[in-house]
Chains A and B, each alone.
Chain A
């Protein structure tokens, strides 16, 4: 907690940490940053979470710069050291996974998987920065710029924002639908949706089964992006909340502060596993979903 200001209640503290810096149309009609969560909610769809979007873009650019500089260095004659070594390890890891799970020919899948793995990992990694460090700095800067420090919200972990995770999941969904069409054609895709999982040789029975199949398959299809996005969001959000809850203990005397420090460290160490695992899971599921999009219905 920022000690210089009047102390917040625990509820306010948690709320403050879970609110995005949102830019949109304010109730009075002008455009600006929301001053509290209610205002942000009132902005509706046409608002943007400047903090998570900004960090997301920054980390994406960071990912690209790192891997691009590695790619520039890469040649068959250079001995891979340092950055190039790391990049090559990641790329080889991704390629192995893609080769194992995606037996079709598409040159876009592996770069897509690499982007997901590294970018999501970076976004998750922001969770390991002390919960108050960067938001605290942002509050100071906001205060200096004339804003009320208490209304300066700053979430630094993009993957704790459902917009970010669902945005990626939806794009994967778009790709799944796109490849389903291009690989199977409209008829093939429709067949897949209508003739599975129940099928019959008798025409009348088959016709009766089509609506049931269609409902089941549509649910199945739509569940993919939702589960993909919400899994990442849920895991990272829960981790973030635990960090915030433990951080509240810092305000409760020295003994608790030391205890809280210990817990933070233990949770952070454990969290290293979670952030890598979630990035990996997101990548693997994306590959699997895309592989299913390529799979012919007859091969079931």
Chain B
């Protein structure tokens, strides 16, 4: 309870501890705290921004999806049309081909008929000539009447 040199000792100790705190404790902690609060603020801001970005991206996704669907529908439409076209075209081609084949066949038939007619005519001429020969008994001059007979054959 006496005032003695302890008072001086305490003053010196106090000064030393203040200096130590000032030098080694205060700056790192305060600095770290300030930096941390800045980081937290930055982080919150970044989170906000990310959220906004996400929203935007989602919006874009929806937009793109809609566009893609529309495009797909268009493509499908076009494809359907094209398919119908192709079928039509194929049908047309088939008809033309069929016509062509039919015509060919017809021509062949006509040709055959013509040939048959010719054959028949020749045979009739020969037959007629033979018949006439028989009737006239070689009285007919082959050379003299050949023209007449040919004329007759052409009329058949």
Residues of chain A having any CB pair with chain B under 8 Å: 18-20, 22, 24, 37, 40-41, 43-49, 52-53, 56-57, 60, 63-64, 67-68, 70-72, 74-78, 87-88, 91-92, 95, 107-108, 110-112, 114-115, 119, 161-164, 166-168, 170-171, 174
Contact = CB atoms under 8 A, between A and B. Distances in A.
Nearest to B8: A167
Contacts of B31: 74
Given A47-B5, A74-B33, A166-B3, A111 B10 contact: no
B10 to A, nearest CB: 3
A47 B17 contact: no
B28 A72 contact: yes
B62 to A, nearest CB: 38
B37 to A, nearest CB: 9
A49 B6 contact: yes
A17 B17 CA distance: 28
24 contacts: A45-B3, A47-B5, A48-B4, A49-B4, A53-B6, A53-B10, A60-B13, A71-B28, A72-B28, A88-B33, A92-B33, A95-B30, A115-B18, A162-B3, A163-B7, A164-B6, A164-B7, A166-B3, A167-B6, A167-B14, A168-B10, A168-B11, A170-B11, A171-B10
A88 B36 CA distance: 12
Interface residues on B, range: 20 to 34
B9 A48 contact: yes
A44 B7 contact: no
B2 A41 contact: yes
Interface stretch (B19-27, B76-84, B105-113, B128-136): B19-27
Given A45-B5, A167-B6, 15 more contacts: A18-B1, A20-B2, A22-B4, A48-B9, A49-B6, A52-B6, A64-B25, A68-B20, A70-B25, A74-B31, A76-B35, A92-B33, A111-B26, A162-B3, A163-B6
Contact of A48 (B6, B28, B38): B6
Given A74-B32, A87-B29, A95-B30, A171 B1 contact: no
Q: B-side binding surface: helix, strand, loop or mixed? A: helix
B82 to A, nearest CB: 63
A75 B6 CA distance: 38
Contacts of A19: 1
Given A41-B2, A114-B21, A168 B14 contact: yes
A64 B20 contact: yes
A40 B1 CA distance: 9
B25 A71 contact: yes
A232 to B, nearest CB: 12
B8 to A, nearest CB: 7
B33 A161 contact: no
Contacts of B39: 76-77
B3 A163 contact: yes
A19 B38 CA distance: 53
Give 7 nearest A-B pairs by CB, closest first. Answer: A167-B10, A76-B35, A163-B6, A74-B32, A111-B22, A111-B21, A111-B26
Nearest to B16: A60
A70 B29 contact: yes
Nearest to A60: B17
Nearest to A167: B10
B25 A68 contact: yes
A114 B3 contact: no
Contact of A171 (B11, B28, B29, B33): B11
